[in-house]
Amino acid sequence: MTTAARAPKTGEPASVVVGAAALSFADVVAVARHNAPVTLDPASLSGVAATRTIIDALAADTEPHYGISTGFGALATTFITPDRRAQLQASLVRSHAAGSGPEVEREVVRALMLLRLSTLMTGRTGVRPTTAETYAAVLNAQITPVVHEYGSLGCSGDLAPLAHCALVAMGEGQARDAAGTLLGGGEALQAAGITPVVLAEKEGLALINGTDGMLGMLVLALDDLARLLTTADIAAAMSVEALLGTDAVFAADLQQLRPQLGQAASAANLRRLLHGSALLASHAGPEDTSVQDAYSLRCAPQVHGAARDTADHAALVAGRELASAIDNPVVTVDGRVMSNGNFHGAPLGYVLDFLAIASADVASMSERRTDRHLDASRNKGLPPFLAHEVGVDSGLMIAQYTAAGIVSELKRLAVPASVDSIPSSAMQEDHVSMGWHAARKLRRSLDGLGRVLAIEIMTAARSLDLRAPLTPAVATGAVRDLVRTVAAGPGHDRFLAPEIEGVVALVASGAVLDSAAGDLA
C-alpha cells in the first residue's frame, strides 16, 4: 500500500520543510499526529513575496478584480474601495467562521493548517510572506484553533473550518494551547509571542479556499488503513488457525491466477503469519475431511486485498492533491489572476466514500469470523461461545453483539456522502461535493473497523488457548501473548468491556502489528 509510514517511536520528530514542493504523506502525519515542527523554505518564501507584488499592482487598479477589490460569491460584482478592503478581508473570515457542533480532533486541525500553509508557500495564492510565517508559528506553538463538526460543504474549499483557523491567526476566535487549555485566539497568540496578522487584499480568501480539511483527513485515514488492513490479515490468520482451517488456498500460484495486487499482498501476509503452525499441521493430512473453508476464512485475501487496492487508488488521488495549489482566484505561473473551480472536492469525496465502503466490508467479514468462533456447530470442537462452564458462563457471546452493532453502523456510514449536493450562496455554488462529510464519516468508520478487528483478535486468542496443547505459529502466538497482557485467557465470566478496550488500544497503537513481526505488507 502506498500510505504514510508510522512515525519513529523514539526521539523528537524531524522538522518538516514547507515550500513549493509537495508535502509527503509522512510529512502530514508527522506534523498532525506527532507535533513535528515546520520550517519554511527560504527560496519558496521569496517566491511568495514575488507573487504578492502582482496582487499589490491589481489592488491599485481602478478595474475590479475578484477577491482583491470585489465582494465574494454572489457578491462578486460589488466593487470595494481601497479604504474598506482590510475590513472586507476580516469580515470575510469572521462571517465564514460559522461552524457548529462538537470540536474537530486536534490532528485534523493541524493537518488542515499545514496543508493550507503548503498551498500558501506555492506562491500561487498571492499572500504576503508574513501571513505564511504566522501560520507556521501557530503550528510550531502547538496552538489548535477550535474547528467545529459542521460548516463545510466541500466546495469553494472547506470554508468554515479554514475560516476558524484564519480567525485565530487574526487574534480572534477560540483555540487550545499545547496543554489543551481553551483560550481566546488573541490570548493564545500573545502567550506564544505571535503577532496577529492583519489581512491585506485577497488574503482572507486565500486562507479559506482549499480542500485542506478533507485532504488532511484522507491522508490520516490512509495512515490508519496501512495499519488496519495488515491487522485484518493478522486477525484472519489467527481465525484460520484457531478454527482448524487451511492455508493451502493462500498459495502463491493460486493467487497468480487472479493477478490483483492487493490480494497477492494479503495472501502473502497470511502465508507468512501461518508459517510453521502446529495447529495447521495437525489436520493437514488426508485424514482431514474438510473440503473447503467458509468464505470468511477462504476469501480473506480477496476482500482485504480489494480494500488495499482501493486504498492505493485513494493514495494516488491524495498524492495529486498534495501537489496542488488550490485557491480561487489563483495567481498563475505567468502572472495572471484567474478564477477556477479547483476547490471542488469531488476527487476527494469519491475516494473517501470508497474507503468507507471498503472499511465496512472488511469489518463485516471480520465479524463473521468472530461469530464462527462462538458457534459450536461451526467451530470444530470448541465450547459454545468459548464459555468456561457452558450454561453458567456466557463466554464471548455479547462481544459478538458489540461487533455486530458496530458493523451495522459501518454499513450506514458506507452510504456515500458525495452523491448529495445542496445548493448554496444564492445558487452561485449550485453543486457541492460534501467531501468534508465523507471524511468525517470515514474517521468514524475506521474507528469502528479497529474495534471489530480487536474483538476478533481477542476471540481468536481465546480459541487458540482452547486448542492447547496444539500450538499456533510464531507470529500468531506472539499476538495471542500480547493480548494476554490486557485480557485474561479462558475462565469464568468477568467484566469484559475493559478487556475489549485494552485490545482496541493494542490495535490502535500498532502493537498488534509489531508483535506479529516479520515482513508484512
Instruction: Please check whether residue 270 is in contact with residue 250, taking contact to mean a CB–CB distance below 8 angstroms.
Output: yes
pTM, to two decimals? 0.94
Model pLDDT for residues 310-362, shown as the tens digit of each residue? 999 999 999 999 999 999 889 999 999 888 888 888 999 999 999 999 999 99
Domain residue limits, the chain:
16-210, 218-324+353-516
Q: Is the pLDDT of residue 5 over 50?
A: no
Closest CA to 513 of 220, 237, 107: 237
C-alpha cell at 320: 495529486
**361 vs 237: CA distance, rounded Å:** 17
pLDDT, average across residues 71-86: 74
Q: Which fold has domain 16-210?
A: Fumarase C; Chain B, domain 1 (1.10.275)
Share of the chain above pLDDT 70, in %: 95
pLDDT score for 72: 67
Asked if the domains at 16-210 and 218-324+353-516 fall in one CATH topology, the answer is no
Q: Is the pLDDT of residue 3 over 50?
A: no
Can you give the pLDDT at residue 148?
97
Return the pLDDT at 279.
94
Per-residue model confidence (pLDDT) at position 91: 92
66 noted as active-site residue: yes
Whether domain 218-324+353-516 has CATH 1.20.200.10: yes
Q: Is the pLDDT of residue 73 over 70?
A: no
Residue 142 zone, left/alpha/beta (φ > 0; ψ -120 to 50; rest): left
HEC string of 333-366 equals CCCCEECCCCCCCHHHHHHHHHHHHHHHHHHHHH
Instruction: Kindly name the residue from 66, 135, 295, 350 that is annotated as catalytic.
Output: 66
pLDDT tens digits, one per residue of 243-260: 999 999 999 999 999 999
| Banded pLDDT at 2 (limits 50, 70, 90) | very low
pLDDT of residue 289: 64
Q: pLDDT tens-digit profile of 373-398?
A: 999 999 999 999 999 999 999 999 99
**If pLDDT is split at 50, 70 and 90, which confidence band does 75 have?**
low
Average pLDDT over residues 39-65: 91
